[in-house]
A and B are shown apart, each in its own frame.
Chain A
Amino acid sequence: MAPEKMMFIDPHIHMTSRTTDDYARMQEAGIVAIIEPSFWLGQPRTEIGSFKDYFSSLLGWERFRASQFGIKHYCTIGLNSKEANNEALAEQVMELLPLFVLKEGVVGVGEIGYDDQTAAEDKYYRLQLDLAKEVGLPVQIHTPHRDKKAGTIRSMKVAMEHGIKPHMVIVDHNNEETVKDTLDGGFWAAFTIYPNSKMGNERMVEIVKQYGTERIIVNSSADWGVSDPLSVPKTASLMLERGIPAEDVRMVCYQNALDAFGQSGQMNESDWLQPANVDQRDKFQDNSVLRGGQTPVVGEFKTRNELKENIVK
């Protein structure tokens, strides 16, 4: 039962490391909008210019590239936890962030938080919480892979200390161990569906069955690693198959992400429901993601992959 008529938002995906083929398949699978959090590129950047160009590419080239496939691209801007540990560079990034956070299509400060939970990570996490508060943007939190439960609780506690309201915080990469604390605190609980680790989509189905749909969000976090840019629609498909009502699926795979990040004032349903009315100068232009002589096609892509292929047990 493919959710053909449903619309999806993937609120955490690193398209920088994906190809246009992925965009084509995502569009076909019903993804109408995505959010690309600033993150690291697999190896640390060593110069401030690399950050500047990266942020610019999220707002420029990547947004444009997505638009070529009928997908609305938003981003969150921030210094990621791993790279916060290079303090000399982190200082310079903090000076750069104010130039970016109020730009159009920036829906949050993110992804920030803890990785190793070092003192440097703590310092720059806090500074960025202050920035988010100053400009009134939601915060997108990356929770650590190691010592996850403690790290997640600490992230939320520190956010509260800085006067950020829980409804302005999206906590990513939750699992069965963290979800209760996150929801009980009034935060948004996002889940990353990975093919081989973190959350499988069968586990995700169980979580929705147990916790309902309030403030629960599904994402793919797809990047340069083993990951799947179709995780959201595939999970939706599995949920429907397992008897979760379509309206509930819509909440966790679309509406909640919109409500959470829509608090930025930078993301509205009308952006993709009536794209032509939003900014007519943004419509599909010359298509340089394609190669000489190819004609831009939107909405008629053929995918070779079956949605069923990625059901993770």
Chain B
Amino acid sequence: MQVFQADVEKSRDFLYELFKRNTSDEATDWLNDKLEKVKGANSARELYWAFSAAPRFVGKTVLQLQESELSKADVLRPGFNPSKWTTDQTARTLLLLSIPHQDQNEFLHKLNQLFSTAEMGELVALYASLPLLPYPGDFKLRAAEGIRTNMGTVFEAIALDNPYPADYLDEGAWNQLVLKTVFVGKPLYRIYGLEIRSNPTLARILSDYAHERWAAGRTVTPELWRPVGPFLNAFLMEDIKRVFAHPEQIQQEAAALACSQSNFIPAKELLEAHPVLKNKIETGELNWNYIGRKSLPAN
């Protein structure tokens, strides 16, 4: 059984420095006091109160991260990306990382209490902290639950910029995560591990979804074809041809990218027929992240 996915001490030091730099001395003093208390074994009540009350003492400012800090985060835990984290969220995660974890049952009991009574801001902190927590295997069902939420911010916390799902979810839950991200109009390029975890079933589900939308006279996000590309077959090629025929440039670009991911001969041939796009892909000028940013400027 895996106990750690990231070094708890180092994660704590890293987040603490970020927190300190992004908040006031009073807030840091408040947190220091609470972190000390939470370290004690019989400290459930201290933990619950501090976890609830954090925003009123540390504020809810978005962290300002430097490039070097982002890379450091990624070294600490591959895919870990706190660039949209807030001060309260960071404080809460620091509290979680300070809970004694030698006793697995004790640790999980406290986490379960927090999850099962959490409000939105707390859920955001809890789900976003998953890639740093000990005993990652024990949070699979929680993560799947997070995907079913109706609350946008909570869904984002688990689905976007979070490496936990790609590393731990089973295929069914993973596919739901991707489909729901498309469904609620959030950016796929912020799903960590999208390419690594794409699979034929997901490609089929996304194609079905596209057909449903088309039948209703609506469009689909060009990002949808990203996890479909590697699994192109005779059936899915019909979709790609349709996307190529779309008047919008971004749709054609997406179709070309999907073809470029495939070893299916008809896909290669179709891409050959669009040399300008093919060339842009080869030079790196055209890629999926570019499509993602372009199709969802608001995100």
Contact = CB atoms under 8 A, between A and B. Distances in A.
Interface of A: 52, 55-56, 59-61, 63-64, 96, 98-105, 265-266, 279-282, 285-286, 288-289, 293
Given A60-B151, A64-B151, A281-B124, A105 B119 contact: yes
Given A99-B48, A285-B151, A285-B152, A60 B185 contact: no
A13 B287 CA distance: 51
A193 B133 CA distance: 50
A293 B216 contact: yes
B92 to A, nearest CB: 11
A265 B56 contact: yes
B2 interface: no
Interface stretch (B63-71, B110-118, B163-171, B257-265): B110-118
A282 B153 contact: yes
A202 B68 CA distance: 66
B113 A99 contact: yes
B55 interface: yes
Contacts of B62: 280
B150 A104 contact: no
Contacts of B52: 99-104
B53 A102 contact: yes
B122 interface: yes
Of the candidates A101, A282, A285, A293, the one having the most CB atoms from chain B within 10 angstroms of its own CB is: A285
B118 A104 contact: no
Interface in B40-61: 45, 48-49, 52-53, 55-56, 60
Given A285-B151, A285-B152, A56 B216 contact: no
Contacts of A286: 150, 152, 155, 184-186
Contact of B117 (A100, A281, A288, A289): A100
Contacts of A59: 119-120
19 contacts: A55-B117, A59-B120, A60-B119, A63-B120, A96-B117, A99-B52, A99-B113, A103-B119, A104-B119, A105-B119, A266-B56, A281-B124, A281-B153, A281-B156, A282-B120, A286-B152, A286-B155, A286-B184, A286-B186
Given A102-B49, A102-B53, A285 B153 contact: yes
Given A98-B48, A99-B48, A288 B150 contact: yes
A259 to B, nearest CB: 18
A103 B122 contact: yes
Given A99-B113, A281-B153, A104 B55 contact: yes
A182 B34 CA distance: 40
A105 B156 CA distance: 21
A266 B216 CA distance: 44
Nearest to B185: A286
Contact residues on B (Cβ < 8 Å of other chain), bracket: 20 to 34
A64 B122 CA distance: 14
When A and B form their complex, which 10 residue pairs have the shortest distance between CB atoms, in order from nearest?
A285-B152, A59-B119, A286-B184, A102-B52, A288-B150, A102-B53, A281-B153, A103-B52, A99-B117, A286-B152
Nearest to A75: B119
Contacts of B122: 103
A102 B184 CA distance: 31
Contacts of B45: 98
B121 interface: yes
A288 B153 CA distance: 13
A149 B186 CA distance: 55
A63 B119 contact: yes
- Among A63, A64, A280, find the residue whose CB has the most chain B CB atoms closer than 10 A: A64
A257 to B, nearest CB: 20
Given A103-B52, A104-B56, A266-B56, A56 B153 contact: no
A205 B121 CA distance: 40
Nearest to B184: A286
Nearest to A285: B152
Contacts of B185: 286
Nearest to A265: B56
Contacts of A105: 119
Contacts of A60: 118-120, 123, 151
A140 to B, nearest CB: 19
Contacts of B118: 56, 60
A98 B48 CA distance: 8
B169 to A, nearest CB: 20
Contacts of A64: 120, 150-151
Given A99-B113, A103-B119, A289-B150, 8 more contacts: A61-B151, A63-B120, A96-B117, A99-B117, A102-B49, A104-B56, A286-B186, A293-B216
A286 B151 CA distance: 8
